[in-house]
Chains A and B, each alone.
Chain A
Amino acid sequence: MQDACALALTKWPAEGVPSSPRGWLIGVARHKALDRLRREARRVRLEAVAVRDWPGTADEPCGEAGTVAAADDELALIFMCCHPALDPEARIALTLRCVCGLATADIAAAFVVPEPTLAQRLVRAKRKVRQAGIRLKPPDRDDLQRRLATVLRVIYLVYTQGHMAAAGPDLVRGALCEQAIRLARALAALIPGEPEVAGLLALLLITDARRAARTSDAGGLVPLGSQDRGRWDAAEIAEGAALLEQALTAGRPGPYQLHAAIAACHVQPETDWREIAALYSELARYEPTAVTEANRAVAVAMAEGPAAGLAILDSLGTRLARWPQFHIARAELLRMTGRTGEAITAFRRALDLPLPHPERTFLQKRITELRDARDG
């Protein structure tokens, strides 16, 4: 999501503030990831000519059950793939490959590693499953506790993989979205009362409710603010909201409940930016990343004005200094607060970093405009 966050910060001042940065961020993340996927695929194809190991080993069974049928079996397979005896890096990749049938190239792109590296990781993990005698069985209480975080992340990634494809030319991978929701439901049935499981299911439902509205007739992505709310699935939103409300009463908040709460804010008729900013503050306790802070800065800028958002961006210091979009976002907020000279400097700093040509041209134009406004 890092790319998307930066891009969103870059574009919203220029194209008008989107009514929902968060939703828009998610949309752009898909575009970005898809671009990367295509780039990666082209490069990897060249590298992979000699590395034929994946096609050669693709028929290795993922588990003893081979192919999968019901959600319960799928869940057992996920728990097997998330076995703590496996390399942590391999667990999610193995699940995406064995449970969801994603292509190695797609998984490699999602992890931003070369395809042969990922293929190797998968081969090693499958070999260990077979050689060490890791069994396919329904998870017991102990497994549930120890593997839950990984399993939640896997299901979330399955969903985003489906969602990402929805914006691309490959058309909607709705099957993956539905698979993720089915798995989250199965997990919720297996561990009733676990608030993070309910939180994840709520997040997926509320996000999925907007799936049909996300794609234009021409196949392009429709940002949240421009979506036809009539095409949202009201039943899915209601189910997600009810689940979330129920989960929150447990008094054990966590990242999925918070993401779900933010998603829920974005489907309200009026967006409460203060609430969203507060939710991001809470989220930072679980995901203390610069990206979370940058997201919070967007929400705060929307709620309290550009100066407050700017203060947060500035508090990030040099953590995002190598991100051109960070400087661009700062520049736009500086411009909005009337600090034209500093805005120009910030734009120039972005231009010192590698940027695609169209963005470069756009920034140069922006600097000229600011300079003219100041001098004229």
Chain B
Amino acid sequence: MKYLILLYSHSPMPGPGTPEARKLFEDWAEARQAMTDAGVLLECSPLQPPSASTTVRVRDGEALLTDGPAAEIKEVFGGLTLIECDGLDEALKWAARLPTASDGKVEVRPFYQVPS
């Protein structure tokens, strides 16, 4: 099964070159490697901040664009990890290993399986 792990962080990204940034980079590298070794990792990436986002709504055949996300939220949806594994328990174990789970929170969302 495929699971999208949505990463929500409380704190802003540490400035580049700071010890915090190095630590974060190392933690992520380790988690990525572990997921790659286990053969579950499909995609893993941070995202640009919400201010870089554009919201799209199609109404009456016309695409309406809005700058930024719909509403301000305290926790920033800052990245995603996509894994494929045997079931929820395994997905939850990987989710708990992601650095964001320790300082923010992560949401484990199963893929909808399109009936074939």
Contact = CB atoms under 8 A, between A and B. Distances in A.
Interface of A: 83, 85, 131-135, 137
A233 to B, nearest CB: 40
A132 B3 CA distance: 9
Contacts of A85: 88, 92
Interface in B64-100: 86-89, 91-92
A133 B92 contact: no
Q: Residue among A83, A85, A133 with the most chain B CB within 10 A?
A: A133
A334 B110 CA distance: 62
14 contacts: A85-B88, A85-B92, A131-B112, A132-B88, A132-B108, A132-B110, A133-B1, A133-B86, A133-B87, A133-B91, A134-B88, A135-B86, A135-B89, A137-B89
A137 B86 CA distance: 12
Contacts of B89: 134-135, 137
A135 B87 contact: yes
Contacts of B87: 133-135
Contacts of A83: 88
A47 to B, nearest CB: 33
Contacts of A131: 110, 112
A132 B86 CA distance: 11
In the A-B complex, the 8 residue pairs with the closest CB atoms: A135-B87, A133-B87, A133-B1, A133-B88, A132-B88, A134-B88, A132-B110, A133-B110
Nearest to B113: A131
A295 B61 CA distance: 70
Contacts of B108: 132
A137 B92 CA distance: 15
A85 B91 CA distance: 12
Nearest to A140: B89
Contacts of A132: 88, 108, 110
Nearest to B110: A132
A135 B90 CA distance: 10
Nearest to B3: A133
B109 to A, nearest CB: 9
A132 B91 CA distance: 10
A137 B89 CA distance: 10
Given A133-B3, A134-B88, 8 more contacts: A131-B112, A132-B88, A133-B1, A133-B87, A133-B88, A135-B86, A135-B88, A135-B89
B43 to A, nearest CB: 18
A159 B86 CA distance: 34
Nearest to A85: B88
Contacts of A137: 89
Contacts of B88: 83, 85, 132-135
Nearest to A136: B87
A63 to B, nearest CB: 12
Nearest to A134: B88
A85 B107 CA distance: 12
A14 to B, nearest CB: 55
Interface string B1-24: 101000000000000000000000
A135 B112 CA distance: 17
B87 to A, nearest CB: 4
Contacts of B86: 133, 135
Contacts of B3: 133
B88 to A, nearest CB: 5
Contacts of A134: 87-89
